[in-house]
Amino acid sequence: MTANDTTTVAPPAPLPPAGLRALSPDRLRARFANPLASKELLARMRGPRAYIVAITLLLPLAGVAGLLYMMISSLPNAEFASSTPVGKLFFATVTTVELGLICLLAPALTADLISGERERRTLDLLLVTPLSRRQIVVGKLVAALGSLLVLIVLALPIQAVAVLIGGVGWEELAVSLLILMLTATTYGCVGLYWSACLRTTRGALLLSYITTLAGVGGLPLAFMLALLGNGLFGTRNMDDLLWPLAWLLNGPQWLGNRYSGNAQVLNPVTMQLEAVVGQLLMATNPLLTGVTSAAGLVAGRPVIALERVANVELLYVAPWLLFTGVHLLVAGALIWLTARTLRRMTA
């Protein structure tokens, strides 16, 4: 090689910005991958438990839907055509049955995740793995609820029969799917939390079902007792006590007609506070959220709006949206508390 010869070296390729490197597929996969979730989900799907859960959820649901459809198809054509609530009745019944089955299965699938490891004396081995406590909790939860969430999606065609019957739109179907999946996630987190707090699976399962029963049936039962007690002993109109529920069901016209001519006695601050508290209470319950969300979708109410009643503007938020926010916060808090409980075991 002579002195005049020159070699051309290609410059190195510029590195992407640090932000793009952090968002690369490999880094994201390494950050969010959970080997415990993959292992346990694969083991659950291979075992007989997945088939038992599928039969427990889909078979009763298909039986109820088939019975209702036979009853509807036996109606005369004229009566069927004039009976607009038939599709809504089918949809409400099937969704309620599915909600009950989910509340039965979700705690049972998660109440033994930590306590079962403790009873088998394998919890210490799990805690010394390189996985963080949050990864252990999320991995256990994903493995337990993954099959149930898949079954909820598989049950969607049974609910979709209501769309073919009429009276139910795809929006109501999507909202019901969201409510069912969030309910399964929240009460699955409840079972996982009690499983970490208690030493035996039996105690965790018992407290999980008590908590689920209180969360799903407590508020409707309180409303029924309030109505019954007012009818037996009270003289105050229950519309004054439960007006947020009636407002969510019937719209602002109901309040406008009720308070027409009495605008001077309305306290804007008190009514707005009662409206916000009432909506938040309703958003904790899947049954009330489903009913009020369906009423809002049928009436064509917006997702978020200011509705004027007499001299008061009330903030309206779609019940399903509030339900989503409340249950995501509750599920996140339960996951954090469960991980904190596991940290205390190794402290």
Can you name the residues that pair with 312 across neighbouring β-strands?
Answer: 309
2 belongs to a structural domain: no
Cα gap 161→259, rounded to integer Å: 41
Place of tokens 């209702």: 68
142 belongs to a structural domain: yes
Place of tokens 């105050």: 236
Burial of 294 (0-12, 13-18, 19+ CB in 10 A): buried
162 belongs to a structural domain: yes
217 with 256, same domain: the answer is no
Q: How many helices (H) and strands (E) does the chain have?
A: 18, 2
13 belongs to a structural domain: no
Number of domains the chain is built from: 2
198 with 173, same domain: the answer is yes
21 belongs to a structural domain: no
Cα gap 191→325, rounded to integer Å: 20
258 with 176, same domain: the answer is no
28 belongs to a structural domain: no
257 with 111, same domain: the answer is no
Q: How many CA atoms lie within 13 A of 109 on its CB side?
A: 32
275 belongs to a structural domain: yes
From first to last of its 347 residues, the chain has per-residue pLDDT tens of 555 555 555 555 565 555 544 445 555 455 556 777 777 777 777 767 777 877 888 888 888 888 888 887 776 664 554 445 788 888 888 999 999 989 998 998 899 889 888 888 888 888 888 888 888 888 888 888 887 888 888 888 888 888 888 778 889 999 999 999 999 999 999 999 999 998 889 999 999 999 999 999 888 888 777 777 665 555 455 556 677 888 888 877 776 666 665 555 567 788 888 888 889 998 999 999 999 998 888 888 889 988 887 677 888 999 999 999 999 999 999 999 999 988 876 65
Integer angstrom CA distances of residue 222 from 35, 194, 229 = 44, 25, 10
68 with 217, same domain: the answer is yes
Place of tokens 């995501």: 328
180 with 57, same domain: the answer is yes
Other C-beta atoms lying within 10 Å of the C-beta of residue 44: 17
Cα gap 66→58, rounded to integer Å: 12
Q: Which helix (H) or strand (E) holds 313?
A: strand 312-317
Cα gap 114→136, rounded to integer Å: 10
With H, G, I as helix, E, B as strand and everything else as coil, classify residue 305.
strand
Domain membership of residue 78 as a residue range: 34-226+324-346
243 with 121, same domain: the answer is no
